[in-house]
Structures are given as C-alpha cells and as structure tokens.
Amino acid sequence: MSYKLGVIGFGNIAQAIITPILDQKLIKKNEVICIVNSKKSFENIKKSYKYDIDIFPVSSDKAHLVWNCPTKLLSIKPQQLESIEEINTKTNKDNLLVSILAGISISKLELKFPNHKCVRAVTNIPITIRNGLTAVSWGDKINKDEKILVKNLFQNSSKVFEFPEKYLDIFLALTSSSPAIIALIVEALSDGGLHGGLSKKLSEELVIDMILGTILLLKDTKITTSDLKNMVTSPGGTTISALRVLEDKSLRSALIEAIIAATNKSKELS
C-alpha cells in the first residue's frame, strides 16, 4: 500500500495531530510514514507510541519515502528548517505541504519547497488534549478538496479557522503564546494564596477551578466580561480593592503590550 501522509518531525504537536486521526480511523496506520531526526527519538517512538506506524530516522535509507506522499505535515522546530532538504521525486510536483512552524511565512515555505503547494497553520499547546485552536492560511493554487483535507487533518484535535496570512501573527500571539500568560497568572495568583497561608497545591487547585468556572460562565451564558466584573464588585468591597491595585500596576496595559510584542516578534521572524 502506498503512503498517503508523510510527517516530517514526529514530536509532541505532530503526534497530537496524527493520533486522533488514527483513533478515528480516518487514515490507516500503514498509510502514514514519519521521519524524525535522531535514532533515539525513533527508538522511543517505536517503543512507546500507541500505533505501530512506519517511522524512520533521517539517516535511514527509507527516510526519503516521506517525499513520495501526496500530503506532508511539516512539524519540526523553526530553527531545524535548515536541516530539511526537499527531495524532488517524480510524484511530488504540486503535492501539498502543511507547515505548523511558528513564524515561517508561506513565501518562505514556497522558496524552500518549490515542488509543493504550501499551507501555513498555527496551532496551540491545548491541541495535545484535543482542545487546540488552529488557524490555516492557504498558499496559491490550493483547491477546495485540498482545503477540506487540511481542515480534516486538524479538526479532530482543534477548532479550525481560516485566515488571510496577515492575521496569523496576532492569532499566534493570542492563542499560542497566551497559554504561557495564563500559566503565569495561575502561578502568581497561587503565590497570593501561599502568602495567605494556604499550601501551594491547594492554592493552585483553587485558582485553576476558579478560572475554569469563570470561563464556563462567560462561555455558556450571555453575560459580558464587564457584566461579570460588576457582578462580583460591590461598593467598598474586596474585589474593587484588588482591581485598584491592578489598575495602579497597569496590568491591563501590560497584557495588551504583551500581545503586541508577541505579534511583532512573529512578524519579525516570518
């Protein structure tokens, strides 16, 4: 049987994308071929990955087979891009290459992979628990069926949005970088609990459940963020005392600036 999907770099994110597709039997395990850089990763994946897929280290004489696949997922780190060389085969003219590399533009991809039609996707870390957000931008000549194929690749592990490429930088800032901001907020609020005499473990549990509950309230009801703020802020009370400190420390402005900085960095890289 010939391979349908070639995966270049089978790390955390590629596995998060591919595993649900195999689980759903949308593709057979013998239709997928993956390559990784090192023998060590190859051996670890062979030993522990739930599916016995065809995987090879780049040094293997079978690794080139990945280039015969009509669709490829490129999932290496952006700084590893230089180590990848497109192998021009008789069959790969106008094949599809889907890249999830942060900050690598479609035009850079098209230069690097001249035999491919390129798609740029941005996804985020919750994709590893099938709760990701993925934005896709299409290069030239991508047809309707190919767009469906690419969306199917991601939608078992994430919500998929189509954007013109110019919006991918802000999408990345809001969805890929912001999990770190949320983690930092959880950590800082928990430290507040610690300061108040609670254990770190309990503080963190309380903060995480508070955030989950608050988000569900915003998501599942029609109340706005300012409604919610007003609901819990009574005159002369505790919440307004807390909010006043945050206004004084310019938290709001700091968060906006953080998103602008991440967006600008993404623009600079691509």
Ligand X SMILES: NC(=O)c1ccc[n+]([C@@H]2O[C@H](COP(=O)([O-])OP(=O)(O)OC[C@H]3O[C@@H](n4cnc5c(N)ncnc54)[C@H](OP(=O)(O)O)[C@@H]3O)[C@@H](O)[C@H]2O)c1
Binding site for ligand X (CB under 6 A): 8-14, 35-38, 41, 58, 75-78, 80, 83-84, 100-102, 123-125, 176
As measured in angstroms, the least distance from the Cβ of 153 to ligand X is 14
Nearer to ligand X by Cβ, of 71 and 176: the residue is: 176
CA atoms within 13 A on the CB side of 251: 11
- Of the pair 80, 115, the CB lying nearest ligand X is at 80
Least distance CB 161 / ligand X (angstroms): 14
- Output 98 or 207, the one with its CB closest to ligand X: 98
Q: Which residue is nearest to ligand X (CB)?
A: 11
DSSP the chain: ---SEEEE--SHHHHHHHHHHHHTTSS-GGGEEEEES-HHHHHHHHHH-SS--EEEETTSTTGGGGGGSSEEEE-S-GGGGGG------TT-TTEEEEE--TT--HHHHHHH-TTEEEEEEE--GGGGGT-EEEEEEE-TT--HHHHHHHHHHHTTTEEEEE--GGGHHHHIIIIIIHHHHHHHHHHHHHHHHHHTT--HHHHHHHHHHHHHHHHHHHHHSS--HHHHHHHT--TTSHHHHHHHHHHHTTHHHHHHHHHHHHHHHHHHH-
Q: Which is nearer to ligand X, 38 or 221 (CB)?
A: 38
Tell me whether residue 37 or residue 105 sits nearer to ligand X (CB atom).
Answer: 37
* Nearer to ligand X (CB atom), residue 14 or residue 65: 14
Nearest approach in angstroms of CB 44 to ligand X is 8
Q: How far is the CB of 86 from ligand X (least distance, A)?
A: 12
Q: Least Å distance between CB 84 and ligand X?
A: 5
At its nearest, how many Å lie between ligand X and the CB of residue 240? 36
